[in-house]
Structure 1
Amino acid sequence: MTSVGDRAPAPAEDRVQSAASKLWHITLSVSGAEAPLAEVRRGLEQLAHDHPFLLTSRYANDHAEIRYWEEARDLHDAAAVALRLWGEHRATAKLPPWTIVGLEVIDRQTYHQRLAEGYGPPPAARVGVHPF
């Protein structure tokens, strides 16, 4: 057994990489053939349970929107993770076989600037899974 004091320090490269990480606000939009609302909701709730980083999901019987914060080194990394989210968890969360039709990735500063100027997405005040 290793105690916290016995651990070797993280390599310098790992420390630099984590120090360079920042938060990105992700909005992922998916759509496809109609599915029963109860199944869509249940799938999104399961996804939120499996991945508590999800802020909010909105859904209808043929589309959904997922909003959350992602920590990543740069926009490319954040977008890559976001683009894998739906497909990688489709089976485990029993999500509809929809495709990604939209992706927005903005940094924290831009997100808050948009809110302050009144033209950004409304804050996700109601965390959870909700119908449109």
Structure 2
Amino acid sequence: MSDGVAPTAGAERTAAAEAARLWHITLSVAGEEAPLREVRRSLEQLAHDHPFLLTSRYAHDHAEIRYWEEARDLHDAAAVALRLWGEHRSSASLPPWEIVGLEVVGRETYHQRVAEGYGPAPATPVGVHPF
């Protein structure tokens, strides 16, 4: 600060809370076919490793993961989302699929879309489900 007074810990937490926002992420991945049982098990492990996952839908050759991410801005939220699949590929035994789609929208936009009846339905039921 210009007056030489350091910010208090409470002020730092408040600034951090104001800086971070919630973003709704939809990550789509696809690739060569894999056994459904293995795809489901790996997505369940991913949900266990990344507790903010709301829902995953899957088929033999693609999956969609929807969750909320806390980040300062869209760029940060997208960067985290783009790393999610690769960073958990080994620990969750995810198929070697590539990211083929990413949507990142702010919380207000997500809720406005749902209220107006266009855009993704609320992520219910929570969990891992076949398409």
Q: What TM-score, normalized to structure 2? A: 0.90
1:58–1:65 CA contact under 8 A, matched in 2: yes
Following the alignment from structure 1 to structure 2, what is the Cα–Cα distance between the partners of residues 103 and 33?
19
Q: Is 1:23 matched with 2:18? A: no
Q: Give percent identity, aligned residues only.
A: 79
- Return the alpha-carbon distance in structure 2 between the equivalents of residues 80 and 11 of structure 1: 28
Aligned residues: 124
Determine the structure 2 residue equivalent to 1:122: 121
Deviation at 1:21, TM superposition (A): 0.7
Query: Structure 2 CA distance, aligned partners of 1:14 and 1:20?
Result: 10
CA distance in 2, matches of 1:94, 1:10: 40
Structure 1 residue 10 displacement after superposition: 3.3
Q: Is the 8 A contact 1:18 1:73 kept in 2?
A: no
- In structure 2, what residue type is equivalent to 1:100? I
Measured after TM superposition, the shift of residue 120 of structure 1 is 1.1
SS at match of 1:43: helix
Separation in 2, partners of 1:59, 1:50:
18
| Residue identity in the other structure for 1:37 | L
Q: After the TM superposition, which parts of structure 1 deviate over 2 Å for at least 4 consecutive aligned residues?
A: 9-15
Q: Does 1:50 align with 2:49?
A: yes
**Aligned letter for 2:40?**
R
- Give 1:107's aligned amino acid: G
> d(CA) in 2 for partners of 1:101 and 1:84?
13
**Structure 2 gap segments, 5+ residues each:** 1-7
Indicate the SS of the match to 2:111: helix
Q: Alpha-carbon deviation of 1:14?
A: 5.8
Partner of 2:118, secondary structure, is coil
Equivalent residue, structure 1, for 2:75: 76
Displacement of 1:36: 0.3
Tell me the distance in 2 between the aligned counterparts of 1:76 and 1:121.
Answer: 21
> Which digits, 9 at most, give the CA deviation of each residue in 1:42-92, with x for residues without a partner?
000000011111000000000000000000000000000000000000000
CA drift at 1:19? 2.1
1:103 corresponds to which letter in structure 2? L
